Structure 1
């Protein structure tokens, strides 16, 4: 095994993939090596350069200052699930395409980096059950409301009030973080926001919560399920909190970044003055120095496996599910294997002519929809299809009609076969599929934020609700937690009754 410049001792074989779930018995010792003399860490590593990793680098630099060497390891492209593909010399979002108006960290990033908001292109949406369009948007808002009431009663009002109540509690996190408070587990974070109610929402199915609210089964099947299928590739058995995050993302007040959402990740790494290392991390090794101070060493893949120098802290900002390829070495007691796998979803960007006859419109010139969501009908092989527009939208841009060749994004549980593409499109010029191990399967076990003193797992938040803003919130939390642990500021971690405390501070 070769060593990278400045590397320290290594050796030893790999153990099985170890990860997320463990009792945080080490939490009490997390401050044992606190640096009360004000000395900052020498080196910090971040594994993963998606929105979580790049935001973590940004916040770590802000809290620890300019003297820390900050290395970010990324085996692929910067951006992670914020990704683009090129069609006819234009780029289109193949990953996370839209952001919510309440995504305050993402909005701050855009403003700090001098990026621009992408001009929206309006379009109507419909729901297809495999046989016919059962629900559609019109040009008249009041008519849409009347149709919803006529078909579903007040279910849509109950759902909207429920989601708004949850989001109103969730935005408390920004106030907590502005006052410097951090949490050592996702459970503690959620408990601080919504108490036992939020925690229960991570443990029970969305469908049960909605039925208890008085939302009709018909509304769940025809409105809620298509949104969950599109956003998470799963059904309404997902945990209620995940469902609430997804349904909030279906709100009309959405936005995106001009030039592509991944520009946020690239900009954050640049402003953090992070050293981007294009390498795949294969292991994390625990090192102990004099005084039993914990440090960590990474191994990266290559022609020969290479070991890095020692890091004072490591932030894992990439999924630690099955097949991640990361081992944890020389931990005593050992870390236990992560529980639960990530759910696969495929986004296929297709340049072609949509087969509108499939949706009951033999004449494509009469097809009025920009996007079609689907119910959980067994015969359907896709979760949704929508006409998409480039990441750079010119003033003269016009959304093409279905009788013209356009660019569409199709979400499906598996890579589309040629026969399925021919069913969905009359003809097509190109089809580019991106497979995402996007979100943990429903019921996956929660993961801790603090795996060992100085070793943090950012993507554990995915199991509560995966979204770009959730990753940004987790990144801020990890940076605050690492800062407080390093300097022994235990009073800023896992505090109770924060709303009352903050009010008295103000």
Structure 2
């Protein structure tokens, strides 16, 4: 090596050394990782939070997940005969990237698809019945509504394109302290406007007719959220996306994802109900300074107990009828219940023979092949939807029985079905399973007081996102956001919180 090349290499090394010093000097000083984290709730939000917290904080932290009921929360199944059937969250959109990632990571296959046909019921008769032929369905919709159906799909796709931005933000570890900031990062002021106006207002402003809203849009919002087109525009768009093609579910039941995430996160499941969370100060044995912890009190089969945690994530709704957790010692105080209420949907699974004349059908039951009946928002409507269910594990060679034979049907309604209503809908039945869900908020915009993600310095509320929209993927997005938020706030990395400059930074790096 000659002297000239040595001098050049030495200068390069010196420059890199100085650059490294500047980077180290500008980087925030990382403090020790937390020792214990509590997650309250083992639904899709809580188990995804445990998964992402493990990803952020590494193997050294102990994560406890509190759940008094079954893992899965609002993802649940019930056994009828020899098979299990979904009673809760049923379908997943093909663009739900977090749910797809979970499936790949956990090695769980999707459920085998069974072809289905949809119809719309106005309380007296079927006003639309899907054909086996795409071109016939297209011509029917074109004849009745013009190009409104295509324009609706384009409108929803435009919203989904903006929605997808959140995955890039989270890929680069950006987090947001409020639901409003998260929505703004995805869709700017347009998304905030959608949350604070009704779907009806948003779509009529885009030129959709009231007839199209009543006949097509309302049945979709009713089957997904049990509510009319007067729910907020953002959750309405999420609902319409749920009518896309390519929807899928998990083989063996969607709750398997929750079980897999819990196992993969190496968290400890604590089968207990959390009763209170209090802030406690304890002197440090090493530094002599005072450190604050969260004391989580709970009741399980062994009685009452409590434990101290560095970070707590609440993944269960803090609303009337959904939670009774008390908070003490906080300044300002943390409310046990936030404004707003959850909407009741009753899921009734009936193993019986459908009375097709209830739907105004003149077809022979053996020729009636409709599997999903949506309903318009008509006065006195007893049901929100009626669907023929397939088992959560579809066996090889399975074929859905025709309406002339007994099958499992799922009926969504706002109130429990009476015996007279069951007799109207079914010729006979041998089993009925009823589940009353407070499954999602009652969406009545404007809802200007969305609960915060941050309840206290290291106390987080994952379910705040439900007041924008409730869905499995929304819970997963919120879980990752909260895990990132907890990590950045613990390590004082403010540059990754509430920043919308990701695209500017990426362009600068390129």
Q: TM-score, normalised by structure 2?
A: 0.90
Secondary structure, aligned partner of 2:144: helix
Render the CA deviation track for 1:443-470: whole Å, top value 9, x for unaligned. Answer: 3541111111110000111110100001
What displacement does 1:93 show? 0.6
Mapped contact 2:354–2:403 kept (Cα < 8 A): yes
Render the CA deviation track for 1:183-241: whole Å, top value 9, x for unaligned. Answer: 01110000011111101111000000000001111110011101111111111111000
- Distance in 2, matches of 1:499 and 1:74, equals 39
Corresponding position of 1:423: 424
What displacement does 1:419 show? 1.3
Q: More displaced, 260-269 or 331-340?
A: 331-340
- Distance in 2, matches of 1:130 and 1:52, equals 36
- Distance in 1, matches of 2:135 and 2:114, equals 21
Secondary structure, aligned partner of 2:307: coil
What displacement does 1:123 show? 1.5
Q: More displaced, 214-223 or 305-314?
A: 305-314
Secondary structure, aligned partner of 1:429: strand
- Distance in 1, matches of 2:408 and 2:97, equals 30
Q: Is it true that 1:256 corresponds to 2:249 in the alignment?
A: yes
Mapped contact 2:126–2:361 kept (Cα < 8 A): no
- Could you list the runs of 5+ residues in structure 2 that have no partner in the other structure? 1-26, 284-288
- Distance in 2, matches of 1:379 and 1:319, equals 30
Corresponding position of 2:334: 335
Say what the alpha-carbon RMSD is for the aligned residues: 1.6
**Where does structure 1 differ by over 6 angstroms across 4 or more consecutive aligned residues?**
none
Corresponding position of 2:185: 192
- Could you list the runs of 5+ residues in structure 1 that have no partner in the other structure? 1-33
Corresponding position of 1:306: 304
Corresponding position of 2:23: none
- Distance in 2, matches of 1:504 and 1:143, equals 51
What displacement does 1:121 show? 0.4
Secondary structure, aligned partner of 1:361: coil
Q: Using CA pairs under 8 Å that are at least 6 residues apart, name the structure with larger relative contact order, 1 or 2.
A: 1
Corresponding position of 1:27: none
- Distance in 2, matches of 1:428 and 1:356, equals 14
Q: TM-score, normalised by structure 1?
A: 0.91
What displacement does 1:133 show? 0.9
Corresponding position of 1:73: 66
- Distance in 1, matches of 2:312 and 2:96, equals 26
Q: More displaced, 120-129 or 494-503?
A: 494-503
- Distance in 2, matches of 1:80 and 1:499, equals 36
Corresponding position of 1:20: none
Corresponding position of 1:372: 373
What displacement does 1:425 show? 0.9
What displacement does 1:37 show? 4.5
Larger Rg: 2
Corresponding position of 2:171: 178
Corresponding position of 1:15: none
Corresponding position of 1:97: 90
Corresponding position of 1:47: 40
Secondary structure, aligned partner of 1:135: strand
What displacement does 1:273 show? 0.6
Q: Is it true that 1:494 corresponds to 2:498 in the alignment?
A: yes
Corresponding position of 1:11: none
Mapped contact 1:342–1:440 kept (Cα < 8 A): yes
Mapped contact 1:299–1:305 kept (Cα < 8 A): no
Q: Is it true that 1:383 corresponds to 2:384 in the alignment?
A: yes
Render the CA deviation track for 1:406-445: whole Å, top value 9, x for unaligned. Answer: 0111111111111111111111111101111111111354
- Distance in 1, matches of 2:155 and 2:374, equals 22
Corresponding position of 1:361: 361
Render the CA deviation track for 1:259-313: whole Å, top value 9, x for unaligned. Answer: 1111110011001110000111111112234556432111113589634221100
- Distance in 1, matches of 2:309 and 2:302, equals 21
Mapped contact 1:156–1:215 kept (Cα < 8 A): no
Mapped contact 2:253–2:392 kept (Cα < 8 A): yes
Q: Is it true that 1:483 corresponds to 2:487 in the alignment?
A: yes
- Distance in 2, matches of 1:400 and 1:143, equals 24
Q: Is it true that 1:204 corresponds to 2:197 in the alignment?
A: yes
Corresponding position of 1:410: 411
Corresponding position of 1:467: 471
- Distance in 2, matches of 1:199 and 1:500, equals 22
Corresponding position of 2:107: 114
Q: More displaced, 364-373 or 399-408?
A: 364-373
Secondary structure, aligned partner of 1:86: strand
- Distance in 2, matches of 1:332 and 1:186, equals 22
What displacement does 1:505 show? 3.8
Q: Is it true that 1:165 corresponds to 2:164 in the alignment?
A: no
Alignment of 1:56-67 (within 5 A): 56-67=49-60
Q: More displaced, 438-447 or 249-258?
A: 438-447
- Distance in 1, matches of 2:374 and 2:151, equals 22
What displacement does 1:503 show? 3.6
What displacement does 1:496 show? 2.5
- Distance in 1, matches of 2:29 and 2:37, equals 18
Corresponding position of 2:398: 397
Mapped contact 1:328–1:335 kept (Cα < 8 A): yes
Mapped contact 1:125–1:370 kept (Cα < 8 A): yes
Alignment of 1:132-143 (within 5 A): 132-143=125-136
Secondary structure, aligned partner of 1:473: helix
Mapped contact 2:122–2:378 kept (Cα < 8 A): yes
Corresponding position of 1:316: 314
